[in-house]
Amino acid sequence: MIFVAGGGFHGAKAVRMLKDRDTIVVADINGECRAKKYVEYTIRSIDHLPCIKYGSVLVIGDAPELFIKMIARNIIPEIVVPAIPRHFAGEVFKLFLESRGYVVKPYSGDINEALFLFKMYGVHVKDDANEGVVVASYMPLTLKCNLGCQEPYRCPVTGRIKPMPLHQLMYAAFSKVADNTIVFISRLIAEGVGGFSGHLLYNTLKELADFYGDSFSTAIATACSCHGVANLFSIERQPRATCPPDV
């Protein structure tokens, strides 16, 4: 199964190119999104999802929320294609942790050490400190990749050699500022369509409950060898309510 998060332009392209390869589940809050014309079924609840063994289906709803509901029912996509305008993996982690009693806020610490490392390697960065979001790319953010680019060692647009894959550099950079760093590696699965392991996302979420303490910071990133996006969070467990002392 391939889970496509978002049914807009990029999500519709993913469905069109992948629907003959595997079962496709595309999630979008808009029931009339572009992907609708490429799917065989449209449903409003994942309750009906186990009945669809083959083909393609549009589930109407918020993609991160639907993904969490799916894995709670042990429906684990092999591949996740993020195609929403937000960072899908970051939103999934935030929702998952909040459902388990954590308060999740944008990272409040200093990320200059990470930004300095990006600069050393010639990576272009756009960061939003208020939201804790960092977008990074070996290519200037005003340029576009060649259609069907296979992420070679030397960028065919800029001519620059990448000193290391960006997913490795993002792990190194954010490990300098966050207590925990997780990078999901996005790989090309069709022309212009990237995806990462749904099983890895599921297993990482399962490990969270046992790994984390009451207060920590984490960086959640998705990246290929050229481009990436990350959420940095400051996370605290909500204090449990205590009974008032007997009078």
Decide if pLDDT at 229 tops 50: yes
Please state, in angstroms and rounded to a whole number, the distance separating the CA atoms of residues 186 and 194: 6
Over residues 70-118, the pLDDT tens digits come to 999 999 999 999 999 999 999 999 999 998 888 999 998 899 999 999 9
Q: Which helix (H) or strand (E) holds 115?
A: helix 112-120
pLDDT (average), residues 6-12: 95
| pLDDT recorded at residue 24 | 94
Token representation of residue 23: 């079962």
Helix (H) or strand (E) holding 205: helix 198-211
